[in-house]
Structure 1
Amino acid sequence: MLYFSRWKTFLIWFAVAVAAFIAAPNLFSDEQLEALPSWVPHKKVTLGLDLQGGSHIMLKIERGDIVRERLETVVGDVRTTLRDANVRYSGLSGSGQTVQVRITDPAQLQAARAALQPLTEPVSGGALMAGSVTELTLSDDGSSVIRLVLTDQGIDYRMSSAVGQSIEVVRRRVDELGTTEPLIQRQGTDRIIVQVPGLQDPERLKSLLNQTAKLTFRMVDVSMSATDAINSRPPATSEVLYSTDDPAIPYLIERRVLVSGENLVDAQASFNQQNNEPVVTFRFDSRGAQRFAQATQQNVGRPFAIILDNQVISAPVIREPIIGGSGQISGNFSVQGANDLAVLLRAGALPATLTVVEERTVGPGVGADSIRDGVMASIIGAVGVVAFMLIFYGSFGIMANIALAANVIMILAVLTLIGSTLTLPGIAGIVLTMGMAVDSNVLVYERIREEVRSGRPLLQAIDSGFSRAFATIIDANLTTLIAAVVLFYLGSGPVRGFAVTLSVGVITTIFTAFTMTRWLIAAWVRRYRPKHLPKSIRTGIFDAQNVRFMSIRRYVFALAATLCVAAVVGFGTIGLNLGIDFRGGSIIEVRAKQGEADLAEIRSRLSQLNIGEIQAQGFGDSQTALIRVPTQDGGDNAEQSALSMVRGELADQYEFRRVEVVGPAVSGELTRSATIGVIASMLAILVYIWVRFEWQFAVGAIIATLHDVILTLGLFIFTGMEFNLTSIAAILTVVGYSLNDTIVVYDRVRENLRRYKKMPLPVLIDASINQTMSRTVLTGLTTLLALCALYFFGGEVIASFTLAMLFGVLVGVFSSIYIAGPLLISFRLRPDIFDKEEEKSEKEGVASKASA
């Protein structure tokens, strides 16, 4: 295994060189990259919104709006169809998903049914839905009432069409803001995610996205006054609408649309030449210009209304026919208001109202702080790990550090290539990978030392060390990878970023351990022809240890059980301090523009808004405060209203640095997906260990891991730390790390069971734990070093996330010894199961030879 052909050597270093070439642009600013030649890669790792600032908004199309609009359309179609067929009717109405009409003359029932039948013909689903779609079904009860029912399939079709159309409209609106690289994509059947990095004014973005922007030009009904229409009953062909003025002015507007916004080809903000007020000029296409000219010619002297989203912007009197196909809209606009209206009209109308169900906005200042803290934590963590390896392994430590550097370079290169978004938890994933990456090297080095101690020559010991460590490294890292993959598929936002970096880190770690490290050791052997291990290796201090862990297993097991019961009881009585991810509401980080943040004043001012019990606490420095607003009873729109009130109350004295709003619908989904994620990862890992080991090992590993999860939850319960999505990421990382540690011990137990078949099981487990003690201590300490750097220097945002992982690592080491080990004794594990496996493999070998 120590022989490397020239082409293998070339490929190893070529891969590292290419990775460095791809990752290099991340060291330069955008201006510096522009000055470099075109053949130099310019692509960098995409920074998440928490690192560069910007907004993440999740919009939901309301199914009720689609049903309501479709119902109105069907009512209109029925009215027109029956009139054209000269069928007399009454009681035409729509409710729920049903339109019903009573045919006055029973003799015309068959004619009515025949006239309405074409409305029920299937329509092509196109690329959205396979085959055709039946949107309406027609039925009657034998009397004179005909019912048309909207099918669920038809509504789903309209929903899917509306989402697709909305994405295009949203994209045009966002592009008008001049932002760079916005991300707009569909999520599920009724949601759209909008991510706009570097956005300075999230409120303007939400205002643009919240408006449907359905523009219509309609005549004002002068047959009666708006007041009389409100007090009595307006004509069937008209409705009362209100202006955008304060106070609002009612108008009686005809339902018939003269021209709609669909006929607009351009809209621009400008100024009225007479009074210099901001206005919006518009221009119709040829069809719209013709219809507008015809309408104004026929109604000279009458007022007409310009209506946007059922609000009257203005209602001027037609003084003369407007035949040029253009005009202007005035309505006491501000300059930005005129600009925004022009943007809305140019982008087109949304097919339905979009509701903001989740918002995460980070100011550029917070992003810069996060980058600084993340880089500082990474550097300190890396220095700690490098120094640690040098102290304990000397020249072998240098090789491990070279492999670690190649590992980090490859992680950055892969993240750059796949276009993954690097978030602050993602940086935490890289730092954690640095701590765990040396685990593979430690496993190999300690295996080599064991082989040397057993009397093997150095070359054979090195070769055997790599071979024996291979399976353990694969098993240990794959369990972490399983947890990371589950996190990716069931997580969202920053949690996904953490999962991606952790997954990539696991893969690059395995690669560097079995190529880079092995090549470096092979080069060392060829150059120096050593007969002994380097004297700079100082892990021999663990060799003389013979700790009898199992002698106190009953007491420790009882203590662990007591702590787990306390955590479960605490969960039922005290409960978790759930963050907004799981219970909805808002988190707002503000910084005082002058002086310190006055928490008492913030609570006092916001308590007057009647938006629930407000929590305000210090966050980081004395200028910064973190405000928590509870979830509102009025649903997702109420969450946005509460946020607007908080902004209005505090904007004069405080800068809004970070805003997170999660509506009740999203919080419920996040709770469900988080629970499924933890259960799914545990089951997947159970299946993997069951396949790779015996059932006793699989069940023992899962019970030990459940112990770690329960105690980590206990940490959140009894400290009152907020439990949010990143806490789930921390727990699943603890699951991966704990299993990593347990599998290393179990792998040695299994090996010793084959070797020492007469040894009592408690003694054998003690021996296995002592033999792997150097690996457990060294890997645990390097991981703790990296996590401590994150905790103390990574910033306030991920402090609880890191603390949970710190606690989990310690608990994971404990459970690998005092939970996983005693469970094997309780299961009465014996070596005869391996005898059966060997007999089975021997029989299969004989059978294969006989058939050959």
Structure 2
Amino acid sequence: MLHYSRWKSILIWLTTLISILIALPNVLSQSTLDALPDWMPKRPMTLGLDLQGGSYIMLRLERGDIVKERVDTVLDEVRGNLRQASIGYTGLAADGQTVRFRLRDVSQIDAAKEALKDLTAPVSTGLTSASIIEVTINAGTDGAFQLLLTDEGINYRVSSALSQSIEVVRRRVDELGTTEPLILRQGSDRIVVQVPGLQDPQRLKALLNQTAKLTFHLVDTSMPVAEAINGRPPATSEVVYSNDDPPVPYLLEKRAILSGENLVDAQPGFNQQNNEPIVSFRFDSKGAKTFANVTQQHVGEPFAIVLDNQVITAPLIKEPIIGGAGQISGRFDPQAANDLAVLLRAGALPATLTVVEERTVGPGLGADSIRAGVIAGIIGLVAVIAFMTFFYGTLGIIANIAMIINVVMMIAILSLLGATLTLPGIAGIVLTIGQAVDSNVLFYERFREEVKAGRSIPQAMEAGFSKAFGTIIDANLTTLIAAVILFYMGSGPVRGFAVTLSIGIVTTVFTAYTVSRLMIAIWMRRTRPKTLPKGIRTGFFDFAAIRFMAIRNYTFTVSAALTIASIAGFATLGLNLGIDFTGGSVIEVQDKRGAADLADIRARLNDLNLSGVQVQQFGDPSVVLIRVQSQDAGENAEQSAVAKIRGELGDDFDFRRVEVVGPSVSGELALTGLIGVGLSLLAIMGYIWIRFEWQFAIGAIVATLHDLLLTIGLFVVTGLEFDITSIAAVLTIVGYSLNDTVVVYDRMRENLRRYKKMPLPLLIDTSINSTLSRTILTSVTTLIAIAALVLFGGEVIRGFTISMLFGVVVGTFSSIYIAAPILILFKLRPENFQGGDEQDEGKASTAPAV
């Protein structure tokens, strides 16, 4: 019986109340939250960058810089050690990770090995007693030496440099005064920087891109710089250019007298004599002593301050500088002086960091996305509530209350976990609204069947819950598998979608089996119904006797033709791949003056000599989407293209969104997406194989592949952009399609136990007809919710939602006309299923004939 003890009821309602309290901060203003008691939860959901604005930047540490630095160090050590040991050599040079030289006297081979043995000594990695060999030496009998920098040693240096870079990046970002930046290590050579609410992403990129290696050099006055440029400068000097326009050359001594490592402080300021911006710096005690000695010895001579191999300034040393402080002057504006001070205080990067991916959203677009998502959610919620109330009356109201509690619990868990809510995450919540009623529909339809079988209302309701629960678990687990794989294989907003979808699945099952069941128990105790409630209007499905399998050959033929057409279209026309898979840039701008003139924008961008520029209107007449294909000139070329467009359009347009994906990242995203889809199919097939017979697993996979290929055909025919969110849509379609398929399969398995002698086509028709009400009602509610997203969710996720809408339709079709007939094709044997009796077989007489 539907009986709940007092403590169980209290626990369920207490869980609901706690969820409401945890979710409440998301709808209260900050002033109201501040006024609440300290014991009240005050933590709202964390909004993703696509909702609150900000920048996501992925930086790659250039391995080549580390290799070059190590090679230069080995060259210096070889040169110094051999000179100190009085060993003659010739042809000292480097090639890749190999350093070569030849001894003048082959009798000194052993002496040379002894002199260089320090280079081959094991280096401790700091992890327990682990050590690595950074350099190996090979010596020939002819006196030829090869020193090889090992990959293991370079990897260790790269890892150490990445750790150091993370700290430098963190200090630089913190100096900007931004709130809650997130800086993470990703893989072996990358850093992810997320800065919410950032108003000036260009400034952030400039700070992160600059190595900020500061050195102080004496100017070599032994020969004119022009002669050094045209001839051959001294071996100990080199020509370095200034950052002026045009650049000014200087002949500097290669050896730095001091470096930025000796700085303890740097602050922006103004020169009191001419009021020009300057940067004042201060050395530590060692640096101050060295600087004092050098300036004492070289009074009247110039020295240069060099930042990232560019001369910032080269003043004369008028008198000894003994206080350990000085200043850097140049053609600075106040912000440039402040940024230079930030760089110097934060320290130099050990190697160059290249921007390989950037996703920036302006706060205006973020607010628009929130507004669109909330509107779509409210419309979808109201429509689903009306739909369920119409078809189930009082029971529909109970299902609606449970659905609302379900959404509240989702928001509470997201807030409690500190999960990030993204725009696709809002889509996940709306999708959950559509699917949340599925469990209730399964319960209610089972309840009706038990009443028709002659059970009393309480017994029928209890049996309905018991029999439907296994189906609910099977159906939702398949979607959960796809969501979990999507989380691990996805990134950014896609991962946010996977999180909300996963949480939605868990809360849906919980609310359906506890909250809904408890409310129904309370309703039944108070009303003690003797017959079905009059508000239930799904009885007309009881007369369904559709001969689905009678036309299976025709539906197979049509489906096969559409599938082949999709494959052919993919092979010939291809997909309209987004920058996630091809590399390049997408820039959304809004004209400050009103409606945008596309022809004028195209003309202005054509003068920038960028390849593959497309300009199109994007929703509002004032909003324009600019696509720039990959420039095929390395990672920096993509950033240069965006910088050119900013320079050309920045005065007349607001940059609402900028996405830049370099060629290396785009290839990885494409591979990851394919692996994610493949793993999802394998995992789900394995689960169904375990829970059902092998024919069921094959049928589910064939139906799923059918849905995937038709969805690909949709992208081919419509020209919708296929990007990383499309992968999320595809995996969601996989989960939904299998959800529907598993419900039908579960009823087939039950009937196979009951009607062992019934012909398989007839049994399949009986099973589909008996679950038809659930299939239609769930599909319609899901379609209503997704349609709200399509119509009101905004342009940014329109392709994502359209593909999901299509997927629901083809998923419902394939559950009936693909997954089911496969069982006939593979000759599923009813005798494999135990149970049933002759009396049950007699009840099948009303089933449709085939």
Interval containing the TM-score (normalised by the shorter chain): over 0.9
SS in 2 for 1:112: helix
Paired position in structure 1 for 2:343? 344
Paired position in structure 1 for 2:195? 196
Instruction: Specify the code of the residue in structure 2 equivalent to 1:63.
Output: R
SS in 1 for 2:530: coil
Paired position in structure 2 for 1:828? 827
SS in 1 for 2:116: helix
Instruction: Specify the code of the residue in structure 2 equivalent to 1:779.
Output: T
Is this contact kept in 2: 1:270–1:279, CA < 8 A?
yes
The aligned runs of 1:638-787 (5 Å cut-off) are 638-787=637-786
Is this contact kept in 1: 2:753–2:836, CA < 8 A?
no
Paired position in structure 2 for 1:80? 80
Is this contact kept in 2: 1:607–1:613, CA < 8 A?
no
Paired position in structure 2 for 1:849? none
Paired position in structure 1 for 2:22? 22
Instruction: Specify the code of the residue in structure 2 equivalent to 1:57.
Output: I
SS in 1 for 2:829: coil
Paired position in structure 2 for 1:42? 42
Paired position in structure 2 for 1:259? 258
CA distances 1:197-251 after superposition (whole Å, capped 9, x unpaired): 0000000000000000000001111111222112112222111110000000111
Instruction: Quote how far apart the aligned CAs of 1:833 are.
Output: 1.1
Instruction: Quote how far apart the aligned CAs of 1:478 are.
Output: 0.3
CA distances 1:35-69 after superposition (whole Å, capped 9, x unpaired): 32322222111000000000000000011111011
Q: Does 1:476 align with 2:480?
A: no
Paired position in structure 1 for 2:591? 592
SS in 1 for 2:359: strand
Paired position in structure 2 for 1:491? 490
Instruction: Specify the code of the residue in structure 1 equivalent to 2:532.
Output: L
Q: Does 1:33 align with 2:21?
A: no
Paired position in structure 2 for 1:841? none
User: 2: CA distance between counterparts of 1:720 and 1:441?
Assistant: 38
SS in 1 for 2:623: strand
The aligned runs of 1:334-733 (5 Å cut-off) are 334-733=333-732
Instruction: Quote how far apart the aligned CAs of 1:606 are.
Output: 0.9
Instruction: Quote how far apart the aligned CAs of 1:130 are.
Output: 7.5
Instruction: Quote how far apart the aligned CAs of 1:90 are.
Output: 2.7
User: 2: CA distance between counterparts of 1:262 and 1:542?
Assistant: 79
User: 2: CA distance between counterparts of 1:553 and 1:26?
Assistant: 50
User: 1: CA distance between counterparts of 2:528 and 2:651?
Assistant: 74
Q: How does the TM-score come out when normalised to structure 2?
A: 0.97
Instruction: Quote how far apart the aligned CAs of 1:73 are.
Output: 1.1
User: 1: CA distance between counterparts of 2:545 and 2:129?
Assistant: 68
CA distances 1:275-304 after superposition (whole Å, capped 9, x unpaired): 100000000010110111111111111111
Paired position in structure 1 for 2:840? none
Instruction: Quote how far apart the aligned CAs of 1:104 are.
Output: 2.5
Paired position in structure 1 for 2:843? none
Paired position in structure 2 for 1:136? 135
Instruction: Quote how far apart the aligned CAs of 1:318 are.
Output: 0.8
Instruction: Specify the code of the residue in structure 2 equivalent to 1:43.
Output: R
Paired position in structure 2 for 1:816? 815
Instruction: Specify the code of the residue in structure 1 equivalent to 2:40.
Output: V
SS in 1 for 2:768: helix
The aligned runs of 1:273-352 (5 Å cut-off) are 273-352=272-351
User: 1: CA distance between counterparts of 2:119 and 2:612?
Assistant: 53
Q: Does 1:246 align with 2:245?
A: yes
Tell me how many residue pairs correspond in the alignment: 837
The aligned runs of 1:65-76 (5 Å cut-off) are 65-76=65-76
Paired position in structure 2 for 1:122? 122
CA distances 1:482-507 after superposition (whole Å, capped 9, x unpaired): 00011101111100000000000001
User: 2: CA distance between counterparts of 1:244 and 1:19?
Assistant: 59
User: 1: CA distance between counterparts of 2:595 and 2:299?
Assistant: 63
User: 1: CA distance between counterparts of 2:198 and 2:720?
Assistant: 31
User: 2: CA distance between counterparts of 1:101 and 1:217?
Assistant: 32
User: 2: CA distance between counterparts of 1:139 and 1:21?
Assistant: 70
Is this contact kept in 2: 1:212–1:353, CA < 8 A?
yes
Instruction: Quote how far apart the aligned CAs of 1:5 are.
Output: 1.4
Q: Does 1:13 align with 2:22?
A: no
Instruction: Specify the code of the residue in structure 1 equivalent to 2:743.
Output: V
SS in 2 for 1:256: coil
User: 1: CA distance between counterparts of 2:478 and 2:226?
Assistant: 72
Is this contact kept in 1: 2:109–2:139, CA < 8 A?
no
CA distances 1:62-117 after superposition (whole Å, capped 9, x unpaired): 11111011111111122222233233333222220011232223333222211210
Paired position in structure 2 for 1:90? 90
Moved more, 753-762 or 623-632: 753-762
Instruction: Quote how far apart the aligned CAs of 1:387 are.
Output: 1.1
Moved more, 602-611 or 770-779: 602-611
CA distances 1:776-820 after superposition (whole Å, capped 9, x unpaired): 010001001100111111111011110000000000011111111
Is this contact kept in 2: 1:488–1:499, CA < 8 A?
yes
Paired position in structure 2 for 1:850? none
SS in 1 for 2:615: strand
CA distances 1:122-162 after superposition (whole Å, capped 9, x unpaired): 111124x9811211111211222222211100011011111
User: 1: CA distance between counterparts of 2:6 and 2:125?
Assistant: 59
SS in 2 for 1:757: coil
Consecutive unaligned residues of structure 1, counting only runs of 5 or more, are 839-852
Is this contact kept in 1: 2:755–2:836, CA < 8 A?
no
Is this contact kept in 2: 1:358–1:661, CA < 8 A?
yes
Instruction: Quote how far apart the aligned CAs of 1:6 are.
Output: 1.6
CA distances 1:572-612 after superposition (whole Å, capped 9, x unpaired): 00000000000000000001110211111111111121111
User: 2: CA distance between counterparts of 1:726 and 1:465?
Assistant: 38
Instruction: Specify the code of the residue in structure 1 equivalent to 2:797.
Output: I
Is this contact kept in 2: 1:591–1:623, CA < 8 A?
yes
Paired position in structure 2 for 1:847? none
Instruction: Specify the code of the residue in structure 1 equivalent to 2:169.
Output: V
Q: Does 1:108 align with 2:108?
A: yes
User: 2: CA distance between counterparts of 1:702 and 1:591?
Assistant: 45
SS in 2 for 1:501: helix
User: 1: CA distance between counterparts of 2:269 and 2:520?
Assistant: 73
Is this contact kept in 1: 2:365–2:657, CA < 8 A?
yes
Moved more, 277-286 or 37-46: 37-46
SS in 1 for 2:112: helix
Is this contact kept in 2: 1:618–1:625, CA < 8 A?
yes
Instruction: Quote how far apart the aligned CAs of 1:836 are.
Output: 10
User: 1: CA distance between counterparts of 2:30 and 2:209?
Assistant: 34
Paired position in structure 2 for 1:268? 267
Moved more, 11-20 or 467-476: 11-20
Instruction: Specify the code of the residue in structure 1 equivalent to 2:792.
Output: F
User: 2: CA distance between counterparts of 1:430 and 1:580?
Assistant: 26
Paired position in structure 2 for 1:58? 58
Moved more, 593-602 or 771-780: 593-602
SS in 2 for 1:543: helix
SS in 2 for 1:239: strand
Moved more, 12-21 or 690-699: 12-21
CA distances 1:675-705 after superposition (whole Å, capped 9, x unpaired): 0111110010000000000000000010001
Moved more, 294-303 or 277-286: 294-303
Moved more, 824-833 or 573-582: 824-833
Instruction: Specify the code of the residue in structure 2 equivalent to 1:523.
Output: I
Is this contact kept in 1: 2:19–2:412, CA < 8 A?
yes
